[in-house]
A = this chain, B = another copy of it.
Amino acid sequence: MAIPKKGNTAFPDRAAQRELKLEALHECAASAFNERGFHGTSLDDIAAALGISKPALYRYVPNKQALLYRLHGISLDAAEAAVTEGEASPADGIERLRIALCQYIRSLTASSSACLVLMEEGAMTGAAAADILARRRAFEARFRKLVSDGIADGSITPCDPKLAVFSVLGAGNWVSRWYRPGGARSGGDIARAMSQQLVRGLAVDPSRYRLEG
């Protein structure tokens, strides 16, 4: 099953190749946007990083705006999956919050491409911007629900869920600013430690959450 050899008609080779290249493009573009910003990155930059010419990009993406929109979509897919995992847990509110947060941070560290593009929302226009904004708002609302659930079941100290979520997600989002793969601590490691620390600040019983674990 390893690498599909070319000429192997048992595989839909052409399509698989295309899929791989598309993923590489997303990874590369997201990484560049994250480092130098949407407007600070030219399509020539991305093409050069991929070792192809700019017009070749247009075989994979209709235009630059659409590329940004697509990356935001990928990023939100991962974010929504993280919060869904938290919601699905049978534990109490704060634990579900911790799980969602941990998975969210993990997703941010897992793929340069998929998730680093939390920024540059303002660079989108029209329907695309409205779509992304709505999804992000819904995502945050689900996090707030986890917090208010936790307050209701007595696992989270009464507080303003809006502010609590902004803090916690803000700390998470900032990870994409400084995390680079290959550092001392792995992404999962960082996600675990940070989510513990952050959730501890909201817990009615903080002794449940030991740091440096």
Chain A residues near B (Cβ < 8 Å): 35-40, 119-120, 122-123, 157-160, 163-164, 166-175, 177-178, 185, 190, 193-194, 197-203, 206, 209-212
> What are 29 A-B contacts with C-beta separation under 8 Å?
A36-B122, A36-B123, A37-B38, A37-B119, A38-B39, A39-B40, A40-B122, A40-B123, A157-B210, A157-B212, A159-B211, A159-B212, A160-B185, A163-B197, A164-B197, A166-B178, A167-B171, A167-B174, A169-B174, A170-B170, A170-B171, A170-B172, A170-B174, A170-B175, A171-B171, A171-B198, A198-B198, A201-B206, A202-B211
Contact across chains for A212 and B158 when beta carbons are under 8 A apart: yes
Q: 7 tightest CB-CB pairs across the interface, nearest first? A: A170-B174, A201-B201, A39-B39, A39-B40, A159-B211, A171-B171, A200-B201
From known contacts A37-B38, A201-B199, A212-B159, infer whether A168 and B171 are also in contact, taking CB-CB under 8 Å: yes
Give the one of A172, A190, A194 with max B CB within 10 A. Answer: A194
B177 touches A170 (CB 8 A): yes
Secondary structure of the A side of the interface? helix
Residue of B38, B160, B197, B210 near A167 (CB, 8 A) is B197
Closest chain B residue, CB of each to CB of A170: B174
- 10 other A-B residue contacts (CB within 8 Å) besides A158-B212, A160-B193: A36-B123, A38-B39, A38-B40, A160-B185, A163-B197, A167-B174, A171-B174, A173-B174, A197-B201, A201-B201
Q: Which residue of B lies closest to A163 (CB)?
A: B193
